[in-house]
């Protein structure tokens, strides 16, 4: 079974509180999501492979470590809200390629509808991080991971800001091999499929729509 990592660093939890606050305006919301994404990128890359290199400091030659060149990363935001997390992650992993999966949740059926797919080059050779602020029913994340697996991608992680227990359980059932990184697992999903307490509609709050 894939693990669930709750990124409980105090700075992440502090910023998440302001992200949740309905009085936080679009500009601040966007900046906070960007910052939390950088902090979560730090956690999700904890096990990235290193390789040894020789470096000459002003004092002497020494052996140090850099991220292995064979460790190619791909970020896969689920449009549209996942886009809000991309720049924050790229700050820490600037050479990652970014693919996009366009899905929206049908408001009646809550089922994900696919409208766009463009993956990084050589996706099967990369570690792929699917990113989306919200894991509600899990339908969107499961559809995105299905799509990657159908294209023979095997090294996949899922990163979200807030998850509902229902969404975590659904992803674990559909994709028991996937590790999930979240800043919080909330209480439950309401009748409209919104996470409670959650943060509302992530896409609308990022882009000022409603
Ligand atoms: C939201 C969110 C996730 C999805 C989560 O996107 O960003 O993609 O809902 O819900 P689920 O786990 O039940 O599938 P939405 O469909 O509102 O589209 P948007 O990002 O374009 O606003
Ligand atoms: N999508 C969101 O943006 N928010 C939720 O709470 C659930 C799905």
What is the position in ligand 2's atom list of the atom closest to the CA of 195? Answer: 6
Is 126 a catalytic site residue?
no
What is the topology classification, in CATH, of domain 4-207?
A: Rossmann fold (3.40.50)
pLDDT of 69-112, one tens digit each? 878 999 999 999 999 999 999 999 999 999 999 998 888 888 88
What are the extents of the domains in the chain? 4-207
What pLDDT digit, counting tens, does each position of 167-190 carry?
A: 999 999 999 999 999 999 999 999
DSSP the chain: ---EEE---HHHHHHHHHHH-TT--HHHHHHHHHHHHHHHHHHHTTT--EEEEEEE-SS-EEEEEEE-TT--EEEEEEETGGGGGHHHHHHH-TT-EE-EEEEEE-TTT--EEEEEEEPPSSGGGSEEEEE-SEESSSHHHHHHHHHHHHTT---EEEEEEEE-HHHHHHHHHH-TT-EEEEEEE-SEE-TTS-EESS-S-HHHHHHT--
Task: Report the complex ipTM.
Answer: 0.97
Give residue 147's pLDDT.
96
Ligand 1 site, residue 37, Cβ cutoff 6 A? no
């Amino acid at each position: 079974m894939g693990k669930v990592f709750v990124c409980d660093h105090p700075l992440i939890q502090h910023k998440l509180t302001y992200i949740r606050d309905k009085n936080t305006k679009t500009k601040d919301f966007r900046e906070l999501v960007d910052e939390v994404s950088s902090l979560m990128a730090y956690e999700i890359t904890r096990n990235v492979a290193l390789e040894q290199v020789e470096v000459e400091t002003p004092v002497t030659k020494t052996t140090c470590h850099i991220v292995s060149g064979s460790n190619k990363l791909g970020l896969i935001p689920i449009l549209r809200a996942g886009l809000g997390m991309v720049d924050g992650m790229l700050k820490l992993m600037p050479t990652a390629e970014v693919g996009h999966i366009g899905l929206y949740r049908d408001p009646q059926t809550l089922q994900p509808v696919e409208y766009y797919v463009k993956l990084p080059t050589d996706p099967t050779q990369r570690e792929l991080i699917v990113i989306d602020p919200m894991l509600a029913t899990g339908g969107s994340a499961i559809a995105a991971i299905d799509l990657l697996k159908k294209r023979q991608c095997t090294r996949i992680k899922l990163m979200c800001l807030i998850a509902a227990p229902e969404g975590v359980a659904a992803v674990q059932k559909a994709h028991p091999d996937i590790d999930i990184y979240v800043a919080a697992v909330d209480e439950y999903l309401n009748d409209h499929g919104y996470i409670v307490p959650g943060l509302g509609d992530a896409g609308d709050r990022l882009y000022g729509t409603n």
